[in-house]
Amino acid sequence: MLFDEKEFLERCDIKVRNHTGWWYKNKPLTEVPEGYVGFTYVITCINKNNEFYGWNYYGLKHFYSKTTKKLGKKAIAALPDKRMSKKVKIVKESLWKSYNTSNKELQILIEKNPTHFKKEILGLYKTEKQLTYGELKLIVCNDALTCEKNWNGWLHSGKIFKKELCT
């Protein structure tokens, strides 16, 4: 799946051609779409003068990050039932807008020349399992682990059941 730079530039508005963020359906995506947990993506080198022209990387990114925070002494003392959890779960928007990739080599290349790469969202997902499956499918169906023109080096695995994909 090689990226056609000429076709891309013809379809884009002159004001957004230098947008180095995430693209979805040929438009910059700047807000989290309601009801979605994350997206699968491909990053492609689009500069013909770059030695990595046409190379790809497939991945996934969550729109939200989840952390657990311990309650302070005052908050614990204020709990109506001492058996209640002393921790609180915090969900906040992740840094997906500025995210490049987890691949270290590609991170360095993008930082040096961000306009040499297109970051394209291929699919939006409503559940964690669908998101993980979407990434697995992209990597396997595009032969990313055996293709020489690809930065993918490993395949995330996990238990994914059919019933979890069909929700």
Mind listing the pLDDT tens digit of every residue in the chain (167 residues)?
455 555 555 554 444 445 678 999 999 999 999 999 999 999 999 988 888 999 999 999 999 999 999 989 898 888 888 888 888 899 999 999 999 999 999 999 999 999 899 999 999 999 999 999 999 999 989 988 888 899 998 877 666 666 766 66
Contact 140, 134 (CB under 8 A): no
The enclosing H or E element of 107 equals helix 104-112
Overall domain count for the chain? 1
Asked whether residue 74 is assigned to any structural domain, the reply reads no
* Domain region containing 43: 5-63+95-165
Asked whether residue 70 is assigned to any structural domain, the reply reads no
Q: How far is C-alpha 9 from the chain's CA centre?
A: 23
How far, in Å, CA of 130 to CA of 60, rounded? 11
| Rounded CA Rg of the chain | 20
pTM passes above 0.95: no
